[in-house]
Chain A
């Protein structure tokens, strides 16, 4: 079974509007972390936001917020006031503490392409 699922096809959003990118995950580890990364056409992977499994509140970082619904195992990324520079591929990832501890590997989803229209 896939651990991270990103099933949306390419997403389009009008500049200045908000957009939600979906991510569901699967784990039996009670301690885990969820990450979102942005990959623009230049190729680098840019960290956006982190949510811990024990965090009581949804994470926010500027225009990015994470809608964490633990019971549904979803961790959707919300981008408010979209900008042209937000056009990129977005990856959801999970770290399970598991055997290897707090700095364990990330497991990624397939990614979602977001295009912002002027």
Chain B
């Protein structure tokens, strides 16, 4: 079974530019989550999709962040325009429809650096 795939693995962009991160969850996993870890701080929740619907987007920091999951498969997270404080590692995770007692499967993350 393929794991959760994220790309790019690294991205360096200038302040004011746009970046789009992509996440491919495990096939059949209805639940897809985005998290972010800013250097030295906790991993923070951004939002949760169930299939193509946003179940919980309480962690989205502001309207510069736009997440989509068309067709309930892969998801994209767009940051436009990027600011310096957006730098960090963005993780995607997925879990099956039933209770995820055995853990949410995470991708390897995208390290975003805004300069």
Contact = CB atoms under 8 A, between A and B. Distances in A.
- Judge: A and B partners, yes or no: yes
Interface of A: 4, 33, 35, 37, 42-48, 50, 52, 91, 93, 95, 100, 102-111
Interface in B86-107: 89, 91, 93, 95, 97-107
A105 B59 contact: yes
A43 B109 contact: yes
B101 A52 contact: yes
Contacts of A50: 101-103
A93 to B, nearest CB: 8
B103 A47 contact: yes
A67 B97 CA distance: 28
Interface stretch (B12-20, B48-56, B60-68, B72-80): B48-56
A108 B104 contact: no
Chain B interface size, under 10 / 10 to 19 / 20 to 34 / 35 or more: 20 to 34
Contacts of B35: 106, 108
Contacts of B97: 103
Contacts, number: 69
Given A33-B101, A47-B105, A105-B56, A110 B89 contact: no
Contacts of B31: 103
Given A45-B91, A108-B42, A100 B103 contact: no
A103 B95 contact: yes
Interface of B: 31, 33, 35, 41-45, 48, 50, 55-56, 59, 89, 91, 93, 95, 97-109, 111
A42 B102 contact: no
A94 B105 CA distance: 15
B106 A44 contact: yes
18 contacts: A4-B42, A37-B103, A37-B106, A43-B109, A45-B109, A50-B103, A91-B43, A100-B48, A102-B98, A103-B31, A103-B97, A105-B45, A105-B56, A106-B35, A106-B104, A109-B42, A110-B41, A110-B42
A6 to B, nearest CB: 9
